[in-house]
Chain A
Amino acid sequence: MLKSRHLLGIKELQAEEIMLVLESASSFKDVLKRDIKKVPALRGRTVVNLFFEPSTRTRTSFELAAKRLSTDVVNFSAPSSSILKGETMLDTALTVEALGADIIIIRHASSGVPHMLASHLKASVINAGDGTNEHPTQALLDAFTINEKKGGIKGLKVAIVGDILHSRVAKSNIYCLKKLGADVRLIGPATLLPGEFRALGTDIFCDMDEGLRDVDVVMMLRLQLERQGKGFFPSTTEYFSRWGLSKKRLELAKKDVIVMHPGPMNRGIEIASDVADGANSVILEQVTNGLAVRMSVMFHLDERAGK
């Protein structure tokens, strides 16, 4: 059983809680392969997607996961909401709760918003990405994918490559993989990879060829193009030549390496097309697994909510 009724970050979770979610996710994945891809587990509950930042993939994944659990789902996105009319974020959340929401899924551009809202709400809060802090369900689905492909996580060499500094995906993944006993290394330009990350128990490489040697998993991050021209890297062409994942570079890793990307991908900027579509890529499986893992998270939070 999970200790909290909220999922705010991986930092707050214990390894056993992570494993509980991953274990049940396997059963949910089986459900998704059936003709009837739906179970009545959360029938009668209401899930609200409260997205203050644009997102299609994550929102759709949460929405479908909630529907597969037989909940009623409402999407509430900032541009169409009362935020424009001057309502505070907390009032918006309280209103959604007053409408009967049992689980509120929040994405916001500022770090810590889900934590703030959770302290005021009776509903369960799931962090779907807050600023540069965490994106816990992405890390859980990545861990599920690695566990499924490799038969375990402990002792694996995992490289996370790219804009670590601004990446909530990277942060959640570092917490998650370290808790499960993986050997995590970060690769990227020094401007996007501050030395403080060593404090999380990771190795740091600016030279990608050196960092990729003998790794079991390569996790590529999206290069946030909106940061272009802010001096973090000279140009996207140069970025690809130094930190992009090409077929040749991938040969430095173990033969059975798996290549991951949380999406959306910039083909030819952080990852070459033939790698993204190649035999080692598990990128589309990550998307499928995301559904199963998010079902599992909601299922276990609901179980906790009754206590």
Chain B
Amino acid sequence: MPKVLLDNKEIDRALTRIGHEIIERNKGVEDLCLVGIQRGGVHLASRLAAKIAATEGLAKPIPMGSLDISFYRDDIRLRKHAVRRTEIPFPVEGRKIVLVDDVFFTGRSIRAALDAIMDLGRPAIIQLAVLVDRGHRELPIRADYAGKNVPTSMSETVQVLLEEEGFTEDRVVLVSPGEPEPGESGRGEGAGA
């Protein structure tokens, strides 16, 4: 069995804390918006948006978008699935954007996401929130908010299994090489890069 790094309660607590940190760091929610990276990051971003709105007692949720980074990757020939939609229903110009991703690994996905956002306009600031930071950075990029730091070996994979993706219970698992993967193989994205 793969090792469970975070169970559903721990995931929820981590997101609650990240939500508070985002509000604190940005001194409120003015101009704030969340952009989830397809696909795990999108679910986490909408959960964070709800938490931030609840904490601040907002009538309207925080503006939220989704970002597909396929066109900006440096390894498109390794991709396995169709291109998903990028939907950012607000101008990014001058906004405070918090990028949300499930697993933070080499940093290459984030590099691609930064380029993708820059092509949409010029935000005031971009911050990064991740559920799991598994290390092994290959680029000088760091997270502003992290749910959990987990030391891993390069050969392991980290999988974030969320209810929104059809799993019975939220979990983050560490899969060793040769172990059967709990998620379908197409989900390697968040885990791999």
Contact = CB atoms under 8 A, between A and B. Distances in A.
Interface of A: 1, 20, 23-24, 26-28, 30-31, 34-36, 38-41, 296, 299, 302-303, 305-307
B69 to A, nearest CB: 10
A40 B85 contact: no
Contacts, number: 48
5 contacts: A1-B80, A27-B85, A296-B83, A299-B71, A303-B77
Contacts of B80: 1
Interface of B: 68, 70-72, 76-80, 82-86, 115, 119-121
A28 B68 CA distance: 11
A24 B83 contact: yes
A294 to B, nearest CB: 15
Given A26-B85, A34-B120, A306 B72 contact: no
The secondary-structure label for the interface of chain A is helix
B71 A20 contact: no
Contacts of B84: 27
B77 A302 contact: yes
Contacts of A299: 71, 76, 83
The secondary-structure label for the interface of chain B is loop
Contacts of A302: 76-77
A303 B71 contact: no
Given A34-B119, A34-B120, A303-B77, A24 B82 contact: yes
Contacts of B72: 39-41
Contact of A31 (B71, B77, B82): B71
A41 B71 contact: yes
B111 to A, nearest CB: 11
A91 B115 CA distance: 41
Contacts of A296: 83
Q: Give the interface centre of B82, B84, B115 by most chain A CB atoms within 10 Å.
A: B82
Per CB-CB distance, the 3 closest pairs between chain A and chain B, nearest first, are A306-B77, A39-B71, A24-B83
Given A34-B119, A39-B71, A303 B82 contact: no
Contacts of A40: 71-72, 115
A121 to B, nearest CB: 19
Contacts of A41: 70-72, 76
B68 A27 contact: yes
Contacts of B83: 23-24, 27-28, 296, 299
B79 A303 contact: yes
A184 to B, nearest CB: 26
Contact of B82 (A20, A30, A34, A305): A20
A273 to B, nearest CB: 37
Contacts of B115: 40
Contacts of B76: 41, 299, 302-303
Nearest to A35: B121
A102 to B, nearest CB: 12
Nearest to A23: B82
A183 B31 CA distance: 50
B67 to A, nearest CB: 11
Nearest to B79: A303
Contacts of A39: 71-72, 119
A34 B118 CA distance: 12
Q: Give the interface centre of B68, B76, B79, B84 by most chain A CB atoms within 10 Å.
A: B76
Nearest to B116: A39
